[in-house]
Amino acid sequence: MAHPAHYREAHPMVFVLTHWINLISMVSLAFSGFYIHYPFFSGFMGVARGMHFFFMYVLVVNLTFRIIAAFFVKSAVVNGSRQQDTDIKNWLPQEANRGQMIPWLKYYLFLKKDHPLGAKYGVLQKIAYIATVPLTYVMMWTGFSLYGPYMNHPWFESSLALVGGPMNMRIIHYFMMWVFIIFTAIHAYLANVEGFAPSRLIFAWKESEGLEFDPKTGKVVGGKGH
Amino acid sequence: MAYEENGALQSLLAARGVTRRDFLKWCGSTAALLGMAESFAPQIAAAVEGAVLQPQAPALWINGGACTGCTESMAQVDTPDVATIVLDLLSVNYFETIMMAQGEDAEAAKADLVAKGGYVCIYEGTVMTGFEGNALRVAGKPQVEELPEVFENAAAIVAVGSCAVDGGWVAANPNPAGGIGVLEFCKEHNIETPVVNLPTCPVNPEWVVAMVIDVLYLGALEDLSVLDLDEFNRPKGIFGQTIHDNCSRRGHFENGEFVTEFGSVEEAKGYCLYAVGCKGPQTFTNCPIVRWNGRASWCVESGAPCIGCGSANPLEAGGNWVDVNAPFLNRHRDIHVGDWVTQPTVVGAAVGAAAVAALAVHGVGMKAAGRMDGGAPYEEMKERDAKKGGGK
């Protein structure tokens, strides 16, 4: 069976760090958010709110940094290769992704036997990852609209009026948390279902041997398991 | 202001057992209520003292689809306090619940004043548009037939109570009587009379007094910006901060000390009512400061979670406080998916569980397909390239 090699060039150290910060922030936000939604044990509300605000600032700063860094840091253009290009190019749709949406869907629905070719990230993966960017900022916006010191600011006041008041805003904020939870579940599942090499790389920055890919054609050219 | 002019009010107050000191204290608290510095108190005193010599300002108190709770709230002052006296300054020519006149006489008095114009219209209750207006008939005809003229000729409309603001509980789903608020009715009929919204169920009499002072004596009619209204036409001074911000139980909230069950030790200790559905964090009124029933107490202080009766959304159907806040003991409102009524928590957990279950099933499929150990072999070329007949 065949799995691409996972080299450090795919996820430079700085992105290993931002990924860790994302993970810790999101887990803390979901936990403290559930507590604020309904305090299921006593004595923690002040801390929960503090956690919630602190980690959201961290998450947003981290995301903004991550986006800016994507324009300056290079990462591998395809798994199983050490050749790098500016990271943002690997995020946006590429020639290698063209026409591959249907094959990916078919592959995941067991209607296609072979693993589709692609760039560093597949079509569905790119859609999901890119969607988390606006989602995070919208989450921040809905949160500020509910947060005492900011809710009277004209921006957030008019947002509250737009959605029909703070109760509706609260429910939107709550549902969006589930969107993040479901995203994370699918993300963790798909990243690891064919082997734990991606996790070893993104968490521990450990390389794994595997198939080598030609960055130009995107096709398998050798490596372990060829 | 001449001494004898002051004297006229003084004798009026003295006759009711109110000292000048009480009166000035009240002027100070009214200034605070209107969001002004206390240094405005003399100006308010002068305005009220001046008004007492003027012909009484005419007013109409119109009841729509109302439970008369707001009237009751206004009438609850059991001793004639300063607020009552100031309201005596209004000449209320029509007030169904408490007026002496009846029948045609009363209707004639109303018609006279409407024809003359320039009055303050205080509207209590829901505007009932259902059944072609027959949901509420007054003096033998649908009320909505006379309302355009009543509203049009008024100098200002004060919508008292949540019903008058956005239909209130009368307009709650399924709203058979077609209840709407005064502001929406005015918009539908292109009436541009200024509307001041004072939600809550019932209205707090202190706010009505504050608005009457504002509208009649402090020049709000000439310059509406005096009122400093928010997007929902509510005075910001009264409806600018949440109940949660000023709540006497806020300390318990921050400490994480909650009532989770009525009749419990926690309830006896006066802990925070957040976990039993208190809507204080999203309800913008100054109830904890002004309080109710002659400033004796208010809902949360007396042990009941806030049910959000001050929520208002005058121009959006379904924005009334009952639809927005029921069930009152839950943290979230109910959501309606077709005929299915449920809580956001249930929807979130169900969708989340379904996603995890789908992933588990998919995982079984991946195992069966032998893809768990590294995935399937890679395709030779993209399908679309293969169709084109080559991968070059």
Chain B contact for A116 (CB, 8 A cutoff):
yes
Residue A24 near residue A56 (C-beta atoms within 8 A): no
Task: Round to whole Å and give the CA distance between B61 and B158.
Answer: 9
The mean pLDDT of chain B is 86
Chain B contact for A102 (CB, 8 A cutoff):
yes
Residue B239 near residue B323 (C-beta atoms within 8 A): no
Which element (helix H / strand E) includes A86? strand A84-86
Model pLDDT for residues B78-130, shown as the tens digit of each residue: 555 666 666 666 778 888 888 878 888 889 989 999 999 988 899 999 999 99
Ranges assigned E (strand) in A88-151: none
pLDDT in tens, chain A (226 residues): 468 889 999 999 999 999 999 999 999 999 999 999 999 999 999 999 999 999 999 999 999 999 999 999 999 988 888 999 999 999 999 888 888 899 999 999 999 888 888 888 889 999 999 999 999 999 999 999 999 888 889 899 889 888 988 999 999 999 999 999 999 999 999 999 988 999 999 999 999 988 888 888 778 888 877 7
Determine whether the interchain pair A167/B384 forms a contact, defined as Cβ–Cβ distance below 8 Å: no
Tell me if A99 is assigned to some domain.
yes
> If you measure CA to CA, which chain A residue comes closest to B244?
A148
Tell me if A49 is assigned to some domain.
yes
Chain B contact for A3 (CB, 8 A cutoff):
yes
B182 pLDDT higher than 60? yes
Tell me if A3 is assigned to some domain.
no
The number of folded domains in chain A is 1
Residue B48 near residue B108 (C-beta atoms within 8 A): no
> If you measure CA to CA, which chain A residue comes closest to B372?
A194
In A27-46, the residues whose Cβ lies within 8 Å of chain B are 37-39, 42-46
Tell me if A55 is assigned to some domain.
yes
Determine whether the interchain pair A43/B257 forms a contact, defined as Cβ–Cβ distance below 8 Å: yes
Nearest CB to B375; choose among A2, A42, A174: A2
Model pLDDT for residues A132-182, shown as the tens digit of each residue: 999 999 999 999 999 988 888 989 988 988 898 899 999 999 999 999 999
Give residue A131's pLDDT.
Answer: 94
Give residue B79's pLDDT.
Answer: 56
Tell me if A56 is assigned to some domain.
yes
DSSP assignment of B132-190, as one string? GGTTSEETTEEHHHHHHHHHHH-SEEEEEHHHHHH-GGGGSTT-TT-EE-HHHHHHHTT
Determine whether the interchain pair B344/A167 forms a contact, defined as Cβ–Cβ distance below 8 Å: no
Determine whether the interchain pair B381/A43 forms a contact, defined as Cβ–Cβ distance below 8 Å: no
Task: Round to whole Å and give the CA distance between B388 and B380.
Answer: 14
- B131: DSSP letter: G
Task: Round to whole Å and give the CA distance between B304 and B278.
Answer: 8
Q: Which residues of B touch A193 (CB under 8 A)?
A: 363, 366, 371-372
Q: Which residues of B touch A146 (CB under 8 A)?
A: 281-282
Ranges assigned E (strand) in B302-370: 335-337, 340-342
- Cα of B192 to nearest chain A Cα, Å: 22
Tell me if A1 is assigned to some domain.
no
Q: Which residues of B touch A194 (CB under 8 A)?
A: 366, 371-375
Angle at B275 between CA B271 and CA B277, to 5 degrees: 110
What is the ipTM, given to two decimal places?
Answer: 0.89
Q: Which residues of B touch A98 (CB under 8 A)?
A: 384
| Percent of chain B whose pLDDT exceeds 70 | 90
Nearest CB to A45; choose among B255, B308, B377: B255
Single-letter amino acid, residue A202: I
Give residue B303's pLDDT.
Answer: 94
Tell me if A60 is assigned to some domain.
yes
Nearest CB to A115; choose among B347, B363, B375: B375
Chain B contact for A167 (CB, 8 A cutoff):
yes
Task: Round to whole Å and give the CA distance between B88 and B78.
Answer: 15
Within 10 angstroms of residue A156's Cβ, the number of other Cβ atoms is 20
Closest of A226, A23, A16 to residue A132, by C-alpha: A23
Average pLDDT of the segment spanning B131-156: 94
Model pLDDT for residues B38-83, shown as the tens digit of each residue: 777 887 887 777 665 555 678 899 999 999 999 888 877 655 566 6
Which element (helix H / strand E) includes B217? none
Measuring CA to CA, how many Å separate B10 from each of A150, B91, B197, B241? 45, 20, 32, 36
Give residue B78's pLDDT.
Answer: 55
Tell me if A157 is assigned to some domain.
yes
Q: Which residues of A touch B282 (CB under 8 A)?
A: 146, 165-167, 170
Within 10 angstroms of residue B327's Cβ, the number of other Cβ atoms is 13
CATH number of the domain encompassing residue A100: 1.20.950.20
B3 pLDDT higher than 60? no
Q: Could you list the residue range(s) of the whole structural domain that residue A172 is in? A: 13-223
Give residue B7's pLDDT.
Answer: 67
Give residue B207's pLDDT.
Answer: 87
Domains for chain B: give ranges and CATH numbers: 3-237 (3.40.50.700), 243-342 (4.10.480.10)
Single-letter amino acid, residue B348: G
Closest of B57, B309, B59, B66 to residue B182, by C-alpha: B66
